[in-house]
Amino acid sequence: MVHELKSDSDSPAVTSSPLPKMTYEEFLTWYDGSHAEWVDGEVILMSPVSTQHRLLVSFLAALIQHWVEAGQLGLVLTAPLQMKLSLRPSGREPDVLFIARQRLDLLKKNYLDGSADMAIEVISPDSRSRDRQDKYHEYQEAGVREYWVLDPIRKVAEFSRLGPDGIYALVTIGDDGIFPSAVLEGLWLKVEWLWQEPLPPLMAVLKEWGLVK
């Protein structure tokens, strides 16, 4: 069935006729680019995201894209793109994901057949438990090597890194407030950038990274 979720304004979600359970192939045929995921054969419709959410996703995607292109490391993609995980099974839609160059064969016509190397979820009011619990465990079991969960409302950032035991460990941010990525070696972020209004200019960050003069 279709799960309806409330919007950012906590207004009731629009009611629609429930759909029967479907296979992932049937879901892809039904899927029209809506903000939706497929879990245990059921379609989960998610509410529209806020402007703040969209701006943060665009900011991160642009930054990471420049870093990845400079090093020819792989691809950076944003939602809507399905990431099909076989363990639950589920078809998730991270806000931003990175796929390493040597794993690009997993990218199919309209979905990623397996785990990304890095996934980023920006929390919305209706996605807090889904991003911090359901997806956390699914991404860990699927082998997503780095998982960022960013909550711009509470101004909390959690960066988890997959250990050799296959378990996520929370990365401790030092007094300098800088998070260094292990998947994208050399890339670092000042966590305070994520909560600035407006967000830092892209060129200013690229200069700090030494990608432009």
DSSP 21-81: P--HHHHHHH--S-SEEEETTEEEE-PPPPHHHHHHHHHHHHHHHHHHHHHT-EEEEESS-
Per-residue b or e along 150-178, where b marks 16 or more CB atoms closer than 10 Å to that residue's CB = bbbeeeebbbbbbeeeeebeebebeeeee
5 has a pLDDT exceeding 70: no
Is 0.85 surpassed by the pTM of this model?
Answer: yes
Tokens encoding 104:
């690009």
DSSP 97-151: EEEEGGGGGGB-SSEEES--SEEEEE--TTTHHIIIIIHHHHHHHHT-SEEEEEE
Instruction: State residue 131's pLDDT score.
Output: 84
Give the bridge partners for 170, in sequence order. 160
Mean pLDDT on 2-27: 57
Q: CB–CB of 188/178 below 8 Å?
A: yes
206 has a pLDDT exceeding 80: yes
Instruction: State residue 69's pLDDT score.
Output: 98
Q: What is the mean pLDDT of the chain?
A: 90
- Residue 160's contacts (CB-CB under 8 Å, 6 or more residues apart) are 136, 140, 146, 147, 148, 149, 168, 169, 170, 171
Q: How far is CA 164 from CA 126, 155, 169, 181, in A?
A: 32, 30, 10, 16
pLDDT tens digits, 143-183: 999 999 999 999 999 999 999 999 999 999 999 999 999 99
Could you identify the residue written with the tokens 């600035």? Answer: 196
4 has a pLDDT exceeding 50: no
17 has a pLDDT exceeding 70: no
Mean pLDDT on 63-70: 98
pLDDT tens digits, 101-131: 999 999 999 899 999 999 999 998 777 778 8
Instruction: State residue 128's pLDDT score.
Output: 79
pLDDT exceeding 70 applies to what percent of the chain?
92
pLDDT: is 36 or 180 the higher one?
Answer: 180
Per-domain residue ranges for the chain? Answer: 49-209
Q: CB–CB of 110/134 below 8 Å?
A: no
CATH architecture label of 49-209: Alpha-Beta Complex (3.90)
